[in-house]
């Protein structure tokens, strides 16, 4: 199929993006790497009147260390962040998770922010942002705000972003001393979206476990460590609370079992990596 007709603007500065968003409102869509949006256009699941291409705005194409962590601009491609994370010890979870995102070809086009904006419940980058307690920097014409990842994902591919808002960047908190980080997922083939994805942060006294691919949104929960007597019950309760459903890829029961097994394994790996 071919997309419905649309206008296209190639913005070269941020204010131009905001002006177009302000004028077109919900008739406009930001075009980043196009790896999710273009198939949606072709299938006519999205029919925007205007596409605003942000990939030529230099100010959005930066990765920067800030007081809060590592800030990743809207134009940063997944391959760029993977390259950065493999060299920067402050981003151990992303160094482990990003190789699971699609393929080298899709990572060289797709952006980090595009994936988070798209909010697929099986996607790795929203899960990492949530598990680390990260935030998003949103901006419309006369107002900027920061939103915690915990408040951003509100339903199946639905977010707290307003129609006229650009996600300017996202901030991943830097690794903390005494913490370990691990990531695992099960999919049908490498590069497919996860059936279940697990991201874990372990400290000396407990763990935070993020789960993707089960509920409508990525979720995170504080758990005791696996050697605690109440660990199995707490993880089992988490698996049930995610309210898994059967679909073409897996049954709800299989997903719950993966949460229990892969969840434990991921926390144990995070404990072994504590610095």
Name the residue among 217, 269, 263 with its Cα closest to residue 238: 263
115 is a site residue for ligand FAD (CB under 6 A): yes
Report residue 273 as tokens: 């990596």
If you search the block for the tokens 């980058």, which residue do you land on? 125
CA dist 71 to 98, 137, 142, 191, Å?
16, 9, 21, 25
Q: Which of 92, 102, 134, 210 binds ligand FAD (CB under 6 A)?
A: 102
Maximum Cα interatomic distance, the chain, rounded to a whole number of Å: 60
Output the smallest distance, CB 139 to ligand FAD, in A.
9
The interface with ligand FAD within residues 49-78 (CB under 6 A) comprises 54, 74
Q: Which of 118, 208, 255, 264 binds ligand FAD (CB under 6 A)?
A: 118
The rounded distance, in Å, linking the Cα atoms of 52 and 18 is 10
Contacts with ligand FAD: how many residues (CB under 6 A)?
31
85 is a site residue for ligand FAD (CB under 6 A): no
Output the smallest distance, CB 20 to ligand FAD, in A.
12
The rounded distance, in Å, linking the Cα atoms of 220 and 239 is 11
- Report which DSSP code applies to 124: H
* Residue closer to ligand FAD (CB basis): 191 or 206: 191
Q: Which of 69, 92, 99, 110 binds ligand FAD (CB under 6 A)?
A: 110
111 is a site residue for ligand FAD (CB under 6 A): yes
The rounded distance, in Å, linking the Cα atoms of 221 and 223 is 6
If you search the block for the tokens 């808002």, which residue do you land on? 165
212 is a site residue for ligand FAD (CB under 6 A): no
Q: Candidates 23-31, 64-72, 223-231, 255-263 — which segment interacts with ligand FAD by CB under 6 A?
A: 23-31
34 is a site residue for ligand FAD (CB under 6 A): yes
Helix (H), strand (E) at residue 202: strand 196-202
The interface with ligand FAD within residues 224-253 (CB under 6 A) comprises none
How many residues does this entry show for the chain? 275
Output the smallest distance, CB 236 to ligand FAD, in A.
27
If you search the block for the tokens 């996202």, which residue do you land on? 170
| Site residues for ligand FAD per CB under 6 A | 29-37, 54, 74, 101-102, 106, 110-111, 113-115, 117-118, 120, 123-125, 161, 166-167, 191-193
């Amino acid at each position: 199929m071919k997309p419905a007709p649309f206008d296209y603007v190639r913005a070269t500065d941020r204010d131009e993006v905001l002006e177009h968003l302000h004028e077109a409102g919900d008739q406009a869509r930001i075009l980043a790497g196009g790896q999710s949006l273009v198939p949606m256009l072709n299938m006519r699941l999205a029919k925007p009147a205007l596409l605003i291409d942000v990939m030529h705005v230099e100010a959005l194409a930066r990765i920067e260390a800030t007081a809060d962590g590592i800030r990743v601009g809207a134009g940063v491609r997944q391959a760029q962040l993977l390259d950065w994370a493999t060299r920067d010890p402050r981003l151990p979870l992303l160094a482990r998770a990003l190789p699971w995102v699609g393929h080298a070809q899709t990572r060289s086009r797709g952006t980090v922010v595009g994936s988070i904006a798209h909010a697929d419940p099986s996607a790795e980058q929203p899960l990492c942002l949530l598990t680390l307690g990260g935030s998003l920097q949103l901006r419309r014409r006369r107002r900027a705000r920061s939103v915690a990842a915990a408040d951003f994902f509100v339903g199946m591919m639905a977010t707290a972003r307003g129609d006229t808002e650009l996600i300017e960047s996202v901030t991943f908190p830097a690794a903390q001393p005494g913490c370990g980080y691990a990531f695992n997922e099960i999919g049908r083939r490498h590069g497919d979206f996860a059936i279940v994805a697990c991201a874990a942060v372990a400290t000396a006294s407990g763990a935070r476990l993020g789960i993707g691919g089960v509920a409508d949104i990525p979720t995170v929960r504080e758990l005791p460590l696996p050697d605690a007597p109440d660990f199995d019950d707490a993880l089992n309760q988490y698996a049930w609370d995610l309210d898994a459903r059967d679909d073409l890829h897996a049954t709800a029961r299989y997903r719950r079992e993966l949460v229990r097994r892969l969840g434990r394994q991921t926390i144990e790996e995070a404990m072994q990596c504590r610095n």
